[in-house]
Each structure stands twice: as C-alpha cells, then as structure tokens.
C-alpha cells in the first residue's frame, strides 16, 4: 500500500487491488454494460492514455449510470465516468478533459499517496474501503454505512487529493488533452460551468466539485495553460452525439413522453449529423414504447445513410431481438464483430442470441473463443452458466453462477452457489476439488472483511 515514506505497492499487488476494487464497485453502483457505450468510453480513454505521460500503463474505463456529475479514479487504472457528467458536457472535449484529469491522478500515483492504511490490512479489505469511499460520494445511503462499519475497526483511509495534486492533474491533463487532438480550453470552460452551477445547487453541488474543488485561481491557472497552445476548433464525433442520445433515452428517471418530446423537438435542428443523433434517440424511445416497426424504419434509414456507424446496427439488432427475429439479429452482430474484431461486448451479444434461439452447444463453442483477458467479465460467467443450464448440467450451472456473483462483488451469493453445486449427485473428483478450492477462497475473503469490521 502507500505509506508516509513513499513506498508503493508492487505492480502485481496494484492489479489485484484494482480488480478487487472494481468488484466492490460493481456490487454497489449501476454500471453500463451496453456494448456501444463501453466501446466508446474505452476508445476515448485509450486515445488519451496513448498521449499521456505513461502510455504503457493499463487502464479500464467504464460508465456509471448515475445522474450525478462525477468521475473518479481507482487503483489499477480503473476510471469511472458518470452518465450525468457525459450528458452535462456540451462538447466531447469537455468530457475528455475530465477523463484526462483522472488519468493524471493515476499516472502520478496520487491515489496511493492520498491515503494511509494499516500494514495489516488485507487486499479485499483495502479494496472494500476504497470502494466504500467512492460509493459514499455516489450513493450516500449505501456508502456511509460501509464506511461506518470499517471505521469501527479503527482503520482510517481516505481519498483526499491535495491542492497540489489537483494542480498537477490539471497541468498534465491539459497536455494529454492537447496531444490527443482535443481542445485544451475545454477544461477551464467545463470548470467554469460547474462553478457557476454550484451557486444554484447549494448543498446539492455536483459531487465532482466536492471531491475536486474548483476555485477561481484554479480556473485561471488552467485557462492560462490552455491558452499557451494554438487555437483549434475540434468538432464532436458522431459517436459522442449518439452515446449522449443513448444515455438520455436509457434513463429510468425520464418519462417516456418527455423523452419523445425532447427528441421530436430537436429532430430538425442543426447539422445532418446532429439531426441523425436526435432521430436515433427517437428510435430508441420507440423501442421503449414497444413500437418496434417505427423504430426499425428509423434505424434502417440511418444505417443506409451511415453504414459505418455501429450504433445503428446494434439498434437494428435490438429491434430484431424484440421481434424474436434471431437470425437477423445474429447477422447484425456478425457484421459488428467484423468491424470491431475481438470486441468482447459484441461477442457476448451474439452468444446471448444463440442461447435465446436454443443453441447452447454452439454458444459454448463461441465462449471458448473469447480472449482470456475478458474471461473474468461477469457476463462471460453468466453466459456460461446459462449455456450449461440449458444443457441440464447443474454442477457447471452453479459453478459459473458462483463466479458470476463473485465478479459482481456478491461473495455470499457465490458461496451459496458453490454449496448447491457440491450437493449434486453426479459430482466427480475433479470438479469436487475445484469447488472446494473456490469455496475456501470465497470464505477467506468474507472472513477478511469481517476482521476489518471488528
């Protein structure tokens, strides 16, 4: 862990801590697994990382489905961006400026220098503590309870970036932003908007302002640095417009009629690309209204005009699945896999359709082709469990459901699934040994968390 002498954890420990941290985040926050959203945020993140001061460091970017304006960095290069921040940005460069800032917090090791922990703290306990701090900023009713339990164990830890940390992240973030082809002025512009908004929010100010205080001097400093670069006009990508439309349409807090009116009113405004994004949002609203024929007509027109835009293909596939036209849906996801080879999210969608069309053996064949880097993903385990369940192989059904729950940070549920698998009468020695080993592992993690709360 980090300590006051500057000693830092090893790369292997950092990776393990990051993975455990992300499992805890999954257990408590709603994360988007939409293939288009994940493909987009990861591509923007990697573009920034490639132009950062540590381009070889591993990062994983994800979107938290929350209306709050926030972003956060965790150990192991895990960076979360709230959908609320994306929707409240007025340009792609503004969104990217926050991501570049968070990347700098990671590359400069601010996360590890911002807290001190007992040297006796286990990895799952440390990860749970970090996750509890993040969750307390996102969903106070969830996070405060977790923090209180841990503080009862006389262990104190906090992520509290200093003013110097923030200035350094701004300075390096602006440099990364400019190198990546974004507008460096977007950082002070976004900060100014947040500061102005905070005057109206009062105590309900955006969480980003509470974890990353924005002062007038900080805005002035970032503006001064940004103005050192030549002026450039950076247009938004169509992916950015479409992902904003998708996140808006996917919000559970907005009434369907309000969504319909929003997209309908903007459908004739702006450039052809901007109008297309509003048509796309309207089509997604039609899906939510179960008006599939009207949605399909919109997406077919958009796909004809913009055949390389992946979002229109996934939307057509979504309509086909809703209409139980699985062959058509599979053809769309095969096209997407050709456009984005190795993308696990489109592979998962294709396999899911195989299962819906009663082809579990074929689904297992495709699951074996998934790159090993993505075989720890919750959806990988869920699809494995469903495939084996469809084949009446209950031992493997429960075995992989256990891994699914563990990947989601629900270790107690994982233990229950292992115990169900152990009761199967057809259990062989090999599987029995695997189940015993995983049960011991899960139980040890639960005990470590209990020890922290004592």
Query: Would you name the residues annotated as active-site residues?
Result: 102, 170
Q: Is the dihedral of CA 307, 311, 317, 320 positive or negative?
A: negative
Between the CA of residue 56 and those of 20, 46, 157, 180, 183, what are the distances in Å? 22, 10, 29, 15, 24
DSSP letter for each residue of 185-198: THHHHHHHHHHHHH
Those residues whose C-beta lies under 8 Å from the C-beta of residue 228, and which sit 6 or more positions away, are none
H or E segment at 409? none
**CA pair distance 167, 169, nearest whole angstrom:** 5
Decide if 111 contacts 78 (C-beta within 8 A).
Answer: no
Quote the tokens at residue 300: 């077919």
Rounded to the nearest 5°, which phi and psi values hold at 78? -80, 125
| Alpha carbon distances (Å) from 212 to 31, 45, 77, 99, 215 | 22, 20, 18, 13, 10
Smallest CA-to-CA distance from 28 within 130, 123, 135 is with 135
């Amino acid at each position: 862990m980090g300590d006051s002498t500057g000693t830092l954890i090893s790369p292997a420990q950092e990776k393990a801590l990051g993975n455990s941290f992300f499992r805890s985040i999954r257990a408590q926050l709603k994360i988007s697994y939409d293939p288009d959203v994940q493909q987009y945020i990861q591509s923007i993140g990697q573009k920034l990382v490639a132009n950062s001061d540590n381009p070889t460091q591993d990062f994983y970017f994800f979107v938290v489905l929350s209306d709050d304006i926030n972003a956060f960095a965790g150990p192991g290069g895990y960076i979360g961006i709230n959908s609320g921040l994306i929707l409240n940005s007025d340009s792609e460069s503004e969104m990217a400026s926050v991501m570049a800032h968070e990347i700098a917090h990671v590359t400069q090791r601010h996360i590890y220098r911002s807290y001190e922990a007992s040297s006796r703290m286990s990895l799952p306990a440390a990860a749970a503590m970090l996750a509890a701090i993040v969750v307390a900023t996102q969903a106070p009713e969830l996070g405060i309870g977790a923090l209180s339990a841990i503080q009862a164990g006389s262990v104190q830890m906090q992520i509290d970036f200093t003013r110097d940390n923030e200035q350094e992240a701004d300075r390096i973030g602006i440099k990364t932003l400019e190198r990546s082809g974004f507008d460096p002025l977007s950082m002070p512009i976004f900060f100014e908007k947040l500061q102005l908004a905070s005057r109206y929010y009062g105590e309900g100010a955006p969480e980003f302002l509470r974890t990353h205080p924005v002062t007038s001097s900080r805005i002035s400093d970032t503006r001064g640095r940004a103005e050192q670069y030549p002026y450039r006009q950076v247009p938004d990508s169509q992916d950015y417009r479409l992902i904003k439309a998708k996140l808006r349409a996917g919000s559970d807090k907005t009434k369907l009629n309000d969504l319909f009116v929003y997209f309908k009113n903007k459908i004739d405004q702006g450039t052809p690309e901007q109008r297309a994004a509003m048509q796309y949002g309207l089509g997604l609203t039609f899906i939510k209204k179960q008006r599939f024929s009207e949605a399909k007509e919109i997406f077919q027109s958009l796909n004809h005009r913009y055949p390389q835009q992946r979002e229109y293909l996934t939307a057509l596939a979504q309509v086909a699945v809703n209409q139980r036209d699985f062959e058509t849906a599979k053809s769309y996801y095969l096209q997407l896999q050709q456009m984005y080879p190795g993308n696990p999210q489109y592979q998962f969608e294709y396999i899911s359709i195989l299962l819906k069309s009663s082809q579990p053996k074929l689904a297992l064949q495709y699951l074996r082709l998934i790159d090993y880097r993505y075989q720890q993903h919750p959806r990988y385990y869920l699809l494995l469990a469903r495939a084996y369940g469809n084949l009446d192989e209950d031992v493997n059904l429960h075995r992989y459901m256990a891994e699914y729950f563990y990947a989601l940070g629900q270790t107690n549920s994982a233990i229950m699934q292992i115990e169900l698998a152990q009761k199967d009468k057809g259990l062989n020695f090999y599987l029995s040994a695997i189940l015993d080993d995983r049960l011991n592992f899960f139980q040890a993690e639960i005990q470590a968390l209990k020890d922290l709360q004592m």
